Structure 1
Amino acid sequence: MWFLHLHFCPLGSFNLSTRLSDTCHLIFPTFFVGFVCFLILSISFLVHPGLNIHWQEKMVVQVFFTSAILALGFSWLFHTVYCHSERVGKLFNKLDYVGISLLVIGSFIPWIHYSFYCYNSFKLVYILAVLILGGFCAFVCTQDYFLSPTYRAARALLFIALGLSGVVPCVHYILIEDLQEGVHYSALGWLILMAVLYISGATIYALRIPERLYPGKFDIWFQSHQIFHVFVVLAALVHLNGIMEIAQHRLSKGGCDNQL
């Protein structure tokens, strides 16, 4: 057991749970700040008059904003109230995992939309695929048995596999366009950086670094779960930059010569 001190008993009070998380747990500010940040960015993007993006296209990007807001919001709520009781903690833990699935889905959809902008059939297939795979992950991770610490590594591997499923449309895009087009205009570089951040965070979470190396030293601050949260927020910001880049490039090219 790597956490030796300062475990919290069920409090039975939302007020006490909130005060406890707010005062002594780094997980609260990491995701709360991320939640507020993406909420502000989302509203700013929708109302900004200077962006040369039609409102229908803004809705595509808004899919990512919404998924990030929900994922960060669900996780913030879970880590705020998980000390309330076992029943409440388990319910919000499930919401936390649903939020992660939504974030992966919401990250893929805008990229697929703009990368396969003139290939409607491919776009539809890949969007349906990510919806099915993301839904499957959400379903599995909301099963009571899968919430136990025994399946901690399995949960991380499941979400890594969901993220790596994006390799298929990436390779497909390079084959129908070319690598230079993908790197310079389809934000593949940002996509790869996002994947590295997500996978690094999930690996740290699964291996419980650093608390397994220094038992008792990271019971409250700088434990693997908190580090994972920082990686998630950074990866989401990186992906947002990539989405904006590919959207502006794609829309600046005008319509499609041959719609497939």
Structure 2
Amino acid sequence: MPMHCIKHREESSLDTSLIKQEKGKETKNMHAKRRRINVTYYPEWFPINDHLAIYQRHPVNCVRACVRSAFERNSELLCVWSHAVALVMTIRGFLLFSSKAEEDFLHPAEEKLVFQLAFLSGSLCFGFSCIFHIFYCHSQTYFEGALKLDLLGIVIGTQGTWYPWIYYTFYCERITKFILLFLTVTCGAVSSWLLTRPYLLRECMVRQRAGLSAAIFTLIIPIYCLMFYRDGIVGSMVEGRQIWGLISLSFGTVGVIVFCMKIPECWCSGQYDHIISSHSIFHSCAAICLWLGIYLSMLLQEKRYETGDNCPK
């Protein structure tokens, strides 16, 4: 073969290799630029997840586009729909429980009221969460307003689902029951006021908000201490069926830890491109936590109905 043909082939092969290298560099630069946009070119108020490579939601200034993005594959897809499904289930539970016959209760008016408050609180929690995750990307005004609703929903959902639990746990101790219910309402009001302060609405304060939200659960400590003192640990957990309360609390704790530590996307930061993220896991854990709390209250209501209205003197 002539030397000029061999030389031409070598040059052609070299050109092809260089083209491939250039394309590879362009692809890497494109992904790097895409990740940099997440940090550099987003508005300061916009909540972003630095670990996500793609599917990061973008700011839009149209309400219709906000709603449409809830059906697209992005970082908020599971956050919206996990609580949308939970909202439908909670409303369904509210309607079913409200339609129960009065013969199934010892004190129908009181017992239905505390359960209706629990279901209503859960519905507001999930509903406000859906509103936030659909519309926060519209503008800073929408973001701050929707975030206030979301934070209020967390407090309402947490505190509201405790009403039937406290009511049946301390059914025969009227003074203790009313004191704990009063403390629950007071704690909820103070927490709502603190969480909606303007300085806490900034994106950089997300861990502080999560810590303050988790602090709401500290009211459980004196409640469990009273139960353990009265019935013993084994009696409370087994006969009192309070083990479901600890399981519920465990799901809530795991959800908060996963959310604050950005698990699992932090394990492959900058390359994680799945819709299952720490926030969606937190949403699922929160929904399970709330529903297990309501389930515990239902078990306590059945037990009280079987025991009757007989309280030890």
Q: CA-to-partner distance for each residue in 1:109-161, whole Å, 9 max, x for gaps?
A: 21111111111111111111122222222111111211223222222222222
Aligned to 1:199: 253
Distance 1:222 1:51 in 2: 45
Identity of aligned residues (%): 23
- Partner letter of residue 104 of structure 2? N
Aligned to 1:186: 240
> Are 2:228 and 1:174 equivalent residues in the alignment?
yes
CA 220–94 in structure 1, closer or farther in 2 if over 3 Å, else same? farther
Aligned to 1:143: 197
1:38/1:65 contact within 8 Å kept: yes
CA 40–257 in structure 1, closer or farther in 2 if over 3 Å, else same? closer
| Alignment match of 1:88 (pick from 142, 152, 157) | 142
| Alignment match of 1:62 (pick from 116, 119, 125) | 116
Aligned to 2:7: none
Structure 1 stretches lacking a partner, 5+ long: none
State the SS of the aligned residue for 1:11: coil
- Partner letter of residue 90 of structure 2? F
Q: Which structure carries more relative contact order (alpha carbon 8 Å, separation 6+)?
A: 1
Aligned to 2:68: 19
Relative to structure 2, which stretch is displaced further, 180-189 or 236-245? 180-189
Give me the CA root mean square deviation: 2.0
Relative to structure 2, which stretch is displaced further, 17-26 or 96-105? 17-26
State the SS of the aligned residue for 1:83: coil
Distance 1:230 1:217 in 2: 23
Q: CA-to-partner distance for each residue in 1:57-99, whole Å, 9 max, x for gaps?
A: 1221122111110000000111011122110111011100100
State the SS of the aligned residue for 1:161: helix
Aligned to 2:19: none
Instruction: Choose 1 or 2 for highest CA Rg.
Output: 2
Relative to structure 2, which stretch is displaced further, 35-44 or 6-15? 6-15
State the SS of the aligned residue for 1:84: coil
| Alignment match of 2:265 (pick from 206, 211, 233) | 211
Structure 2 stretches lacking a partner, 5+ long: 1-49
Aligned length: 259
Relative to structure 2, which stretch is displaced further, 213-222 or 72-81? 213-222
> Are 2:51 and 1:2 equivalent residues in the alignment?
yes
- Partner letter of residue 253 of structure 2? I
